[in-house]
Structures are given as C-alpha cells and as structure tokens.
Amino acid sequence: MATENRNYATGKRKTASARVWIKPGTGTITVNKRKFEDYFVRETSQMIAKQPLELLEAADQWDIAVNVRGGGTAAQAEAVRHGIARALVENDGERRPTLKRAGFLTRDSRKVERKKYGRPGARKRFQYSKR
C-alpha cells in the first residue's frame, strides 16, 4: 500500500484527539467519513478548524481526512486545527515559524479539574452555616 505523499499528525485538546492525514488535492475535508460542513455545523467550529489553512492561503491545495474522538464539538474543532497545523509542518518545515507564531502548534493542555471529596465540585464548597 503506497502512502502517495500523505502526511499524518495528531492534534489534541481537552479530551478530544484528532488523527489527521493530508495529501495534495482539491480542498475536500472529511471528518469521521462525513463532510466537513455536516460534522461541524457551527460556523465558529468550521472557522477554528480551518485557521491554519487560511493563514497559509492553502485551503484549496490539500485533501484532508480526519478521525476525531472524545470531548465536545468545540474541543474537537480545536484538536482538528492542532492536527492540521502539525501535518502541514510535517509536509514542509518552512511553514513552522508562521504557524508557531499564530499559536497553532502549541497544544492547549487545559483540562477539567477533578472533583474532590467533601466538595460539591472541584473547588466549590458547601454553604457554611454558623448555627
């Protein structure tokens, strides 16, 4: 099985993980074997996921296949953005400074803090009663 000049990268955000394959093409994006617009219904999620391509003005030069799991739709869109940026750098290292400056290569490591015992949430306390 030939890889036909494909590049692979993984993008992550919160608990979402996106596996991204890019190859030269016409600009079609499929997410979990569905059309990009059908998977990411919100305009903001579509915009977030396409940011690296818009920055490099290469939206119609790559065919992108994505498998994304975990998290919500917003976190998945950011995971896809991270994966696309890393795959583009893997294809051509000259793009790295541009994408790095825009912050697309940095993994946003913020996650939900775990709930602690004796508390209703991670940090919230039960109401204090003096009497």
pLDDT digits (tens, 9 = 90+) for 36-81: 999 999 999 999 999 999 999 998 999 999 999 999 999 999 999 9
Token pair for 104: 């697309």
In whole angstroms, what is the distance from residue 48 CA to residue 71 CA?
16
Residue 124 has pLDDT above 80, yes or no: yes
The conformational region for residue 41 under phi > 0 = left, psi -120 to 50 = alpha, else beta, is alpha
pLDDT of the residue at 5: 87
| Percent of all residues in the chain with a pLDDT value above 70, rounded to a whole number | 98
Does a structural domain hold residue 24? yes
The overall average pLDDT reported for the chain is: 94
Cα distances (angstroms) measured from residue 45 to each of 7, 49, 112? 23, 6, 20
Residue 118 belongs to a domain: no
Residue 123 domain flag: no
Residue 23 placed within a domain: yes
pLDDT of residue 103: 95
Q: What does the pLDDT read at residue 131? A: 85
Residue 131 lies in a domain: no
What's the domain range around 42? Answer: 7-102
33 domain-assigned: yes
Q: Give a yes or no: residue 1 inside a domain.
A: no
Number of domains in the chain: 1
Residue 109 domain flag: no
Domain harbouring 26, CATH code = 3.30.230.10
